[in-house]
């Protein structure tokens, strides 16, 4: 049994990081690896897969105890995030009790504390999660087969989300024709980007479920339409998301 004595300096950044995954599932498997806090999540049917990472020094002011890869699960993202808010933006301790399971260092409990408050969480067992290896993640985010690439600005992303409210139709279609990429519902058609360079790409279209699109973070993203999926790679953070074609 070992203990990692970490110090959190920017709880709001950790809360925002966790928020990227809270709409996909209540629980989350986190990794401390290669200088980054990482997470990968997916919907039960794996129609949506999401990855994000944030450097240690953007979250922790002390992390010298992390000398090897560590995995730890959180049962309830919202409750853990709400607990972080009690400590504000001042430095406080985040201590992770760890054990060795099948050769891996695995968190068993987390204690958040300062001089006046102590909150403890039991970590979720790894068997509750389907682990997505980096090789699999690289494969599903490979853009080599993309038929078209374009930038989805966050203002257009927000506008598209707002348009969903005017109809009950469950899908949105991303449509590339000529030099334009549009998002089309049952009763609206929004031009996302118009660029002469797009003329060199073949025309294509792909439909996804709107509730899956809602998992996308409001950040400018490079977007790739492939045969059976759309890949979003953020221009503002180390975040990638894949949405499978709506059947």
pLDDT one-digit tens code per residue, 10-62? 889 999 999 999 999 999 999 999 999 999 999 999 999 999 999 999 999 99
**pLDDT for 242 beyond 90:** yes
The dihedral region occupied by 102, where left means phi > 0, alpha psi between -120 and 50, and beta the remainder, is left
pLDDT in the model for residue 116: 94
In order of 15, 19, 115, 156, 165, the CA distances from 159 in angstroms are 25, 21, 45, 5, 11
Count of CB atoms situated within 10 Å of the CB of 70: 20
In order of 17, 40, 50, 56, the CA distances from 59 in angstroms are 10, 18, 20, 5
In order of 61, 98, 138, the CA distances from 65 in angstroms are 12, 12, 29
Q: Which domains does the chain have, with CATH numbers?
A: 2-139 (3.10.150.10), 142-244 (3.10.150.10)
The model's pLDDT over 160-186, given as tens digits with 9 standing for 90+, comes to 999 999 999 999 999 999 999 999 999
3-state SS assignment for residue 115? coil
pTM given for the model: 0.93
**pLDDT for 234 beyond 90:** yes
pLDDT in the model for residue 122: 96
pLDDT band at 88 (very low <50, low <70, confident <90, very high): confident
pLDDT band at 89 (very low <50, low <70, confident <90, very high): confident
Average pLDDT, the chain: 93
Closest Cα partner for 61 from 89, 25, 82, 20? 89
**pLDDT for 1 beyond 90:** no
Higher-confidence position of 200 and 93: 93
pLDDT band at 238 (very low <50, low <70, confident <90, very high): very high
**pLDDT for 199 beyond 80:** no
**pLDDT for 133 beyond 90:** no
**pLDDT for 200 beyond 90:** no
**Cα–Cα distance measured from residue 215 to residue 97, given in angstroms and rounded to the nearest whole number:** 31
In order of 50, 181, 193, 199, 247, the CA distances from 174 in angstroms are 19, 7, 11, 16, 15
**pLDDT for 90 beyond 90:** no
């Amino acid at each position: 049994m070992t203990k990692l004595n970490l110090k959190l300096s920017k709880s709001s950044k950790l809360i925002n990081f966790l928020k990227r995954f809270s709409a996909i599932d209540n629980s989350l498997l986190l990794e401390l690896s290669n200088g980054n806090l990482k997470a990968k999540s997916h919907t039960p049917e794996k129609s949506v897969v999401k990855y994000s990472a944030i450097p240690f020094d953007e979250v922790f002011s002390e992390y010298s105890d992390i000398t090897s890869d560590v995995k730890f699960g959180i049962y309830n993202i919202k409750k853990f995030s709400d607990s972080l808010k009690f400590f504000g933006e001042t430095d406080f301790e985040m201590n992770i009790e760890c054990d060795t399971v099948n050769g891996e260092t695995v968190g068993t409990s987390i204690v958040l504390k300062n001089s006046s408050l102590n909150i403890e969480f039991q970590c979720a067992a790894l068997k509750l999660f389907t682990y997505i290896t980096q090789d699999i993640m690289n494969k599903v985010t490979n853009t080599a087969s993309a038929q078209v690439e374009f930038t989805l600005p966050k203002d257009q992303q927000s506008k598209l989300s707002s348009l969903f409210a005017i109809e009950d139709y469950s899908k949105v279609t991303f449509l590339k024709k000529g030099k334009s990429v549009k998002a089309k519902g049952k009763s609206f058609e929004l031009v996302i980007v118009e660029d002469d360079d797009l003329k060199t790409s073949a025309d294509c279209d792909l439909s996804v479920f709107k509730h899956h699109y809602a998992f996308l973070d409001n950040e400018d993203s490079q977007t790739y339409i492939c045969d059976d999926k759309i890949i979003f790679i953020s221009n503002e953070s180390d975040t990638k998301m894949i949405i499978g074609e709506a059947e």
